[in-house]
Structure 1
Amino acid sequence: MIKHLSNLLLAAFIGCSLPVTGQTVALTPPMGWNSYNCYGSAVHENEVKANAAYMAVHLKKFGWQYIVVDFLWSYDNPPGSNIGNPFQKRLDDGSYIPWLTMDKWGRLTPQPNKFPSAFGGKGFKPLAAYIHSLGLKFGIHVMRGIPRQAVWSKSPVLGATGITADMIADTSSTCPWMNHMYGLDMNKPGAQAYLNSILKLYASWGVDFIKVDDIARPYHKEEIEGYKKAIQQCGRPMVLSISPGETPVKEAEHVKQNANMWRMADDFWDDWQQVLHMFKYAKNWEGQDGPGHWPDCDMLQIGKLSKRGPVGPERYSRFTEDELYTHITFWCIYKSPLMMGGNMPENRPIDLKLLSNDEVLQVNQRGQNPRQLYLKDGDSMVWYSTIRGSGDIYVALFNLSETAKNIKIDFSSIGLKGRVTVRDLWKKQNFGSYKNDYQQTINRHGAVLLRLSAK
């Protein structure tokens, strides 16, 4: 089992290049659940708790630990509503409806109709305490910048005497798909103080993970640095995730120094063509992963999706069973963060099986330096990674074609000599020892994940 593997491997990473945050977070790719793909903006507290309870019972022992509330937790969605219209309307006097739940310092707080335990100004502290009581960690999604309604109301900035929200907002910096926020002008006095104030609030709630949206594309360098600085001073270690992609590859060094995970692509959904595109994005970011910084393929499209939006009707993942195996096999061999997107209490046996194979998850948590070995004519692909402290090699074989196909791995191409023992990690079976190569017929859009051991 790989329970709490990131902590167990801390000593092994001494001497490795750690992020400059001074924190020991995300030493291995974070593993958790995010509410967006199954609930959009309309997730309620009882549903978050139900997913946390499921993880605690079924998945925590395998290393899953983060429960992340995504997208508009300060926005009022009545029980049973769909994602709704995420835009605010500006009234003649300049105010906004619906009015987001916000404190006097211009900091958004949870909407009590969706999160009843937040009533009375408690914020997410009670929900975080419940999740922590299960031995899990709690995360939230936020939009970059400062609420427009805080700018309209000229909310004072905590920690910056005489500074109000309208004095630090960059009103020319807006999100094209949501009109709730303005960007921050990080050159203005008080801008960093505002970020410090919201991160201190999140720390007081018990937040362990923060996903900042509308910041990676376009790449807002100064604001990313601002969130990193705010995390450093908040008094609580937090994972910093930024989205959406496509994060510019030219910013690789900067993002590795300032974030723990960053999206390589826009939102990923249960469509085979998007899987093929993700392979290309991943190749572009090859070699940029390491303890504390991980290119992110986005959430796992497994299980029950889109219960209240945001994309398509309520459904189980449209991936075939072979495509599901390809999906999670690639996320594991590539060492992407693993954030489950489906509503876990509705998991089918196949969904739980995909999330609870300890040997497969070790590929994600223990593999080192994932590389593409080859991509042939767009119909077959092989990736591999090494294993710290071992001469063994993880290898993933992918059939991208429309018919069953024989896929081969030449042992010499990955530095193995002599006879090689082949173990199938999904089946947890040794297939025997082979000389020179191994080949297997793989179903259309299917994958095989192996551990190769040279004698």
Structure 2
Amino acid sequence: MQRLLSVFLAVLGLSSLLVPAADARTPFVKPFMGWSSWSLESSTRAGYGTSWLNESHVRDAASAMASKLESAGYTYVNIDSGWNADLSWVFHTDVNGIPAPDPGRFPSGIPALASYVHGLGLKLGLYAVTGLEKEVYAKNAPIVGTSCHAQDIAYRPLTPSNGWGGNWKVDFTNPCAQKYYDSIVAKFASWGVDFIKVDGTTADNVADIAAWSLAIDHSRRPMWLTASAWPVPRSAGPSLAPYANGVRVDTDVECYCETVSTWDSSVKARWADLPSWQGVFGPRYRPDLDSMPISNNTGSGIQDGISDVERQSVMTFWSMASSPLYVGGDIYFLDSSAVSILTNPEVVKVDQSGTYATQVTGGDHQVWTKRAPDGRMYAAVYNLGSTPADITVDLGGARPVRDVVARTDLGRFRGSWTAASVPPHGSRLIRIG
């Protein structure tokens, strides 16, 4: 395996920088838990949208997480797109082409914000994109620690790269390309960053994610690395496995409307799309189902756009998938029902077990099962239809059954157990044995 990696990196021009594969992933045995800003930035509701992102609001989100969710394991405060752009969406980089925070949004800078977040016992994440920013290319920024400039690492002929086609493709046969990514991650590390989401990842951007991963290794600071798109193509999934901690397997969960999301736009898509990714993931490579619209359905602030029944189905599905659990809403207004759903210790345990579910039955009345490391089996049923339904789980013998969400033992059942009258878009989660 090491020899094959050496050959691969030599092709990329990275052999002189060879380190063991995926060291950046080593500390992350469990899916991360936290919050992301994008759902609020994507909303058309008054007071939200891209102008919402600023230092004060991120501090409020961190404080809310620390007081309401941290005890259950939620620790990552992830700042999404726009942190290095002004309100007109003009992006900033420093003289060396390294992304720089917008002074209007983050007047105290990222290091001060990271210090505040870390002081609460939390971690800070930032957003990046694949490819070479055209602004960096245009100013031909000098690359730290080299005699190269940005235009030296652009692939020729100039070729658009990433999901938007908005950046230039990078020529990884030039060792200065890796040095450029090293300079970005070294800066992030010096600021205290703990997470990087690299967006716009296509099948042509595997080398970009490899470079980000190596840069994290070189920085010697553990950082979770997510390869993101809407979704990342399934064909790229296995190739990204040595480098990313997680990969986005579905479209954006947001509806880009006045709420965070709706069932049809696009929560329910996950049940149809996750099955095609089965078999791709392993103990340190996670399916990212995007953020969870479980935050606020009452009072002030943006509403989730899905019911409490649907919110529980989201929590159950994400947990059965061992997807990262991160909230996508205004957690400053987190309601009591959301807190109850998000912090249920038995459901969180299902997620953090790190094992993956298998779809037993598809269609409108789905059954998924998974085996935890302790050997116990879990089963989840989902009613994706429009009327209540009874959904039966095969127990494979006489077994005790526990309702994980209700944290209640249901008794011993022989041969099968039936979830009675599961409401539309509802779910049940049980432990067998």
TM range (shorter): 0.7 to 0.9
Superposed counterparts of 1:173-184, under 5 Å: 173-175=160-162, 177=164, 179=166, 181-184=167-170
Per-residue CA deviations over 1:16-72 (Å, capped at 9, x if unaligned) read xx9732642331111111101013443111111111111111111111111111002
Change (3 A) 1:188 1:265: same
Of 67, 71, 77, the match for 2:77? 67
Change (3 A) 1:334 1:23: closer
Indicate yes or no: 2:417 matched with 1:432.
Answer: no
Equivalent in the alignment of 2:63: 53
Per-residue CA deviations over 1:48-98 (Å, capped at 9, x if unaligned) read 111111111111111111111100211112xxxxxxx64xxxxxxxxxxx4
Equivalent in the alignment of 1:24: 26
Q: CA deviation at 1:373?
A: 1.4
How far apart, CA to CA, are the structure 2 residues paired with 1:166 and 1:232? 25
Superposed counterparts of 1:103-114, under 5 Å: 103-114=94-105
Indicate yes or no: 2:376 matched with 1:371.
Answer: no
How far apart, CA to CA, are the structure 1 residues paired with 2:191 and 2:154? 25
Name the SS of the counterpart of 1:401 in structure 2: coil
Equivalent in the alignment of 1:353: 340
Indicate yes or no: 2:118 matched with 1:132.
Answer: yes
Equivalent in the alignment of 2:150: 165
How far apart, CA to CA, are the structure 2 residues paired with 1:450 and 1:19? 38
Range that drifts further, 100-109 or 166-175: 166-175
Q: CA deviation at 1:303?
A: 2.4
Indicate yes or no: 2:263 matched with 1:272.
Answer: yes
How far apart, CA to CA, are the structure 2 residues paired with 1:249 and 1:71? 23
Asked if the contact 1:288–1:294 (Cα under 8 Å) also holds between the matched residues in 2, the reply is no
Identity %: 30
Range that drifts further, 428-437 or 19-28: 19-28
Paired letter, 2:189:
A
Equivalent in the alignment of 2:368: 383
Paired letter, 2:23:
T
Change (3 A) 1:176 1:61: closer
Per-residue CA deviations over 1:92-145 (Å, capped at 9, x if unaligned) read xxxxxx4x3321111111111111111xxxxx1111111111111111011223
Superposed counterparts of 1:51-450, under 5 Å: 51-77=61-87, 86=89, 98=90, 100-118=91-109, 124-161=110-147, 163-170=148-155, 171-175=158-162, 177=164, 179=166, 181-215=167-201, 217-269=202-254, 270-273=261-264, 274-304=266-296, 315-366=302-353, 368-375=355-362, 378-390=363-375, 392-412=376-396, 417-418=397-398, 420-441=399-420, 442-450=422-430
How far apart, CA to CA, are the structure 2 residues paired with 1:209 and 1:219? 23
Name the SS of the counterpart of 2:412 in structure 1: strand
Q: How many residues align?
A: 393
Paired letter, 2:56:
N
Per-residue CA deviations over 1:158-185 (Å, capped at 9, x if unaligned) read 0112x11122124322456484x43322
Change (3 A) 1:172 1:219: closer
Paired letter, 1:101:
H
Name the SS of the counterpart of 2:418 in structure 1: strand
Q: Determine which structure has the larger strand proportion and give its number.
A: 1
How far apart, CA to CA, are the structure 2 residues paired with 1:191 and 1:367? 34
Asked if the contact 1:219–1:248 (Cα under 8 Å) also holds between the matched residues in 2, the reply is no
How far apart, CA to CA, are the structure 2 residues paired with 1:438 and 1:176? 45
How far apart, CA to CA, are the structure 2 residues paired with 1:47 and 1:265? 27
Change (3 A) 1:37 1:112: same
Change (3 A) 1:343 1:191: same
Name the SS of the counterpart of 1:27 in structure 2: coil
How far apart, CA to CA, are the structure 2 residues paired with 1:141 and 1:21? 21
Paired letter, 2:38:
Y
Paired letter, 1:172:
T
Paired letter, 2:83:
W
Paired letter, 1:364:
D
Name the SS of the counterpart of 2:211 in structure 1: helix
The gaps in structure 1 that reach 5 residues or longer are 1-17, 78-84, 87-97, 119-123, 306-313
Name the SS of the counterpart of 2:326 in structure 1: strand
